[in-house]
Amino acid sequence: MKNIKLTIEYDGRRYLGWQRLGNSEKTIQGKIETVLAQMTGEEIEIIGSGRTDAGTHARGQIANFKTKSNLTAEEILSFLNRYLPNDIVIKDVEEVGERFHARYNAKGKQYSYYVWNNVIPTAFYLHHSFNVPQELDLLKMEKAIEKLLGTHDFIGFSALKKTKKSTVRTIKEIRLEKEGSMLRFTFIGDGFLHKMIRILTGTLLEIGMGKLEVDVIDKVLANKIRQGAGETVPANGLFLDQVFYS
């Protein structure tokens, strides 16, 4: 059996997210598995580095699958990009060791969230950013970002209810960059909870608008109550940039 690693780029707006559901034609995983089954004649299950929500995009999603096929990495790459829809692109195919597991071996991830900060909306980035017309206090947002760095229990900044699994995560870096009307938030950490980045971004934006104070970060980290944080921003501004492996 070969173990094949895929690096995948996709525009998520037409899909119900990464994870295969009953209607596989509406998920990224389902689309790729269908083409792989046609290519190999085998029933293929791909393992992703993690789920992305409906409407979320990726520049560097990682997945792997096992196959008995003798096709080369170059042939697999060519076949997938020929038969997948053009909003799903395989950027790289590599044969890896049998122990490689896209999810369990992942050491961290980088996400970006894009905000178009202008009273005039944009046609070009309509499906790939969130329009915020209000003026934002970037200095207050930077102060709030400092409070989020490090290791914390982030359940109050997630869509999780109760879970037996740990909700402690480490955020190594959050960058806020502005170019013209476009703001880019970059989040780098060892992992992120369900909708965590969208809730963190929504909270930072409400701090920038003056709807919330900077100390709301301390309060939510302490009391772990989701209702104290900001709104969940839409999925269309979110990109999975990169998955880190040792």
Active site residues: 53
Tell me how far apart the alpha carbons of residues 176 and 186 are, in angstroms, rounded to a whole number.
7
Judge whether 6 and 64 are in contact, CB under 8 Å.
yes
Return d(Cα 173, Cα 201) in angstroms, integer.
14
Residues in Cβ contact with 132 at an 8 Å cutoff, skipping those fewer than 6 apart = 115, 116, 117, 205, 209
Query: Pairing mode, if any, of strands 57-67 and 88-96?
Result: unpaired
CA distance 167 to 192: 9
The tokens describing 89, both together, are: 């692109």
> Nearest-5° angle of CA 228, CA 148, CA 180?
95
